[in-house]
Amino acid sequence: MEFRILGPVEARRDGTVLPLTGSKIHTVLTALLLARGRVVSDGRLSEFLWGWSPPTTMKAQIYTYVSRLRKQFDGDVEIARCQPGYALAPGDSWIDSVEYDRLDRLGREALEARHFDKASTLLAAALELWRGSPFASTSEFLCESEVPQWEEAWSATLSCRIEADLARGRHHELVAELTRMVAVHPLDERLRAQLMTALYRASRQGDALSVYQQGRSLLREELGIDPGPALREVHRQVLEGREFASPGRTRVVAGSTGPYGGRGTTGPAGARAPLPAVRPVPAMLPPDVTHFTGHAMPLAEVVYELRGTARPAHPGRRHRVVITGMPGAGKSALALRAAHLLRDQFTDGQLYADFGGTEDSRPDAQGVLRNFLRALGTPAHALPESAEDRVQLYRRILADRRVLVVLDNVVDAAEVAPLLPTGARSRSILTCRAPAALDGAFRLIRLHPLGTDEALALLASGAGPERVAAEASAAVSLAELCDHSPLALRICALRLAEDPRARVTALLSRLLPARRRLDELRHGGLDVRSGLRSAYAALPASSVRTLRRLTVLAENDFSAAGATAVLRTDEREAEEALEALADARLIDVTGVGPDQRLIYRLPSLVRLFAQEQPPEPAAGKPSGQHWEQPPVREWGRAKPQG
């Protein structure tokens, strides 16, 4: 068996990826692997899965996830129940995090012994095991707890590898890499010192001094401190124009490749696009949401995460918030409300783009990037021709600015990655249904249906508190027909607001017939069916079939065992199919039944929409309307032999 957690979590047997779907099961597996044979308590697993708000069925759900892992491993890897939790015995399995630690240790030992070629090779091999942000497909709670220390370890490994390469005289090749790294980690003084060293030895003394001045300004502005002694010493030696030791443990003589040794560099080919001479302050946010109601706790979490400066303990943290939930859950409304509450915090402006709409009308990320650059003051004639150069210009402009970037209705997380600011002062909010593909540290805010009191308050925002109170029973029934969805309830509130004489019971009677409900739930540009159509179109063909078949179930709540007959599969495959729909935010996990099986819920509005769709095509005939899930990409290095 092979386990890979330094990126999206994967388990492989004989090179084949096992079908472990869903962030919850990935979270349990990662927690057990990180423990390295030690017992992980039920309480610790619960924190990783649900944070501080575990369900009452916590232990039963954990047991279910462990059982699914055991079935997949088929005895190759043992997961034992050891009070007060579980422990994983990997046997002879290969685990990328364990291999990373081994290579990192050997590389540091070689560096200490001044075996620079060997150190560079070992440390580079350790870094190659990373395939993105570690534990990327696990819960936000595990990521918040574990990712910072692993990112710190990665940064230390990178710094040691660069130190070894500087000792080997590879300063010319290192300049571009270190420039990128300093842009991503602007408060890392060791990286900045290494960049100054590489620039100095490449006959770019002025650029080295400029890097120091930028770092000193940023440290003072963000943290209120001056550069540390190591960075100041490199700065002093650059000013004196003499050879000096690299900012690590070893002294390296520049020799013929020193600052005046004749092998200088003229920098990257091609002219760099100029930064804007003035600093326009873009204000691209749409109008604030009127009568925002509900989701008070998620709103407070978003505002708390994005307010203030970067924490000194985690200089690489980028303060990105991702708001996710079912269609109509109020993701966009929450993002806009938070953005407007924070406007005064982002004095250099706010950028906004909506990636919603049909596939033909949806904007592409490069078009949005051009709009952002123009809003930030870059004239049309100065826009770089290549996409990569535009991204670099965008990041340079935002490097020292405090800008809020809001990306609404994101469909392809990888596509919008270039739009996310990397500077320490800017922040970003994304809304999307399925955030699993997002890379990098972010705070995940998942929206659930409103409670009854919140739903009635939203209705009252349009109809008036007196009207709702006078017909309280009808209002509660109306909220239930709307699945307590903020979008559906807002539409009802607007319809009631249009006619002060209209009764809540009259609107309820119009929504009662199932065949008419989705027709009634639209008002102006708001349309429940439209949001469901977008989510449905993004499903792979297998999930489309699953959703279509679930509509014949008599109840909205069901287990995988109860769905096997309609899904025409066994219980294990039914669990995987239902987990995929839950990740797509079209069904919910609501608890655990008496038989210890997870209970799923199909919202009534999703059921009605799915029932409207054309029947699934006959076996062997492509739909033409949906597409199969793309194959899993092969990541990482091959398993070491011997």
**pLDDT tens-digit readout, 290-309:** 777 888 888 888 888 888 54
Give the model's pLDDT for residue 220: 85
Is 314's pLDDT higher than 50? no
Give the model's pLDDT for residue 254: 32
In Å, the largest CA–CA distance within the chain is 89
User: Using CA atoms, how far apart are residues 523 and 462, in angstroms rounded to an integer?
Assistant: 13
Q: What is the pTM of this model?
A: 0.57
User: Using CA atoms, how far apart are residues 373 and 190, in angstroms rounded to an integer?
Assistant: 31
51-55, 179-183, 459-463, 515-519, range with the lowest pLDDT? 51-55
Residues 6+ apart with CB under 8 A from 430: 320, 321, 322, 323, 406, 407, 408, 410, 413, 416, 438, 442
245-249, 259-263, 404-408, 534-538, range with the lowest pLDDT? 259-263
User: Using CA atoms, how far apart are residues 161 and 163, in angstroms rounded to an integer?
Assistant: 5
Give the model's pLDDT for residue 443: 79
Q: Tell me the average pLDDT across 92-113.
A: 92
> What are the C-alpha distances in Å from 505 to residues 245, 474, 501, 627?
81, 6, 12, 43
> What are the C-alpha distances in Å from 610 to residues 378, 485, 544, 580, 586?
46, 17, 9, 16, 11
Q: Tell me the average pLDDT across 94-119.
A: 92
For the domain 97-254, what is the CATH code?
Answer: 1.25.40.10
User: Using CA atoms, how far apart are residues 179 and 210, in angstroms rounded to an integer?
Assistant: 12
**% helix / strand / coil in the chain, to the nearest 5?**
50, 10, 40
- In degrees rounded to 5, what are phi and psi of residue 64? -65, -45
Place of tokens 């710190």: 152
Q: Tell me the Cα Rg of the chain.
A: 28
- More confident call, 595 vs 160: 160
Is 310's pLDDT higher than 90? no
* CATH 3.10.180.10 is right for the domain spanning 296-447: no
Closest CA to 584 of 340, 206, 327: 327
Q: Could you give the residue range(s) of every CATH 1.10.10.10 domain in the chain?
A: 2-94, 539-612
One-letter amino acid of 31: A
Closest CA to 559 of 593, 603, 582: 593
Give the model's pLDDT for residue 622: 43
Q: Could you give the residue range(s) of every CATH 1.25.40.10 domain in the chain?
A: 97-254
User: Over the chain, what is the mean pLDDT?
Assistant: 82
Closest CA to 486 of 507, 457, 463, 512: 457
**pLDDT tier, 359 (very low <50, low <70, confident <90, very high otherwise):** low
Fold of the 539-612 domain: Arc Repressor Mutant, subunit A (1.10.10)
- In degrees rounded to 5, what are phi and psi of residue 371? -65, -40
CB 599 within 8 A of CB 592: yes
Matching CATH number, 2-94, of 1.10.10.10, 2.60.120.10, 3.40.50.300, 1.10.274.30: 1.10.10.10
Reported residue count of the chain is 642
Give the model's pLDDT for residue 21: 79
Give the model's pLDDT for residue 267: 37
Alpha helices by DSSP H, listed for 85-204, are 96-112, 116-128, 140-167, 171-184, 189-201
Judged by DSSP in three states, 353 sits in strand
Give the model's pLDDT for residue 436: 54
> In this structure, is the dihedral angle defined by the CA atoms of residues 429, 435, 438 and 444, taken in order, positive or negative?
positive
- Taking only the tens place, the pLDDT of each residue in 443-499 is 788 888 888 999 999 999 888 889 999 999 999 999 999 999 999 999 999 999 888
- Taking only the tens place, the pLDDT of each residue in 365-385 is 899 999 999 999 888 888 888
Q: Could you give the residue range(s) of every CATH 3.40.50.300 domain in the chain?
A: 296-447
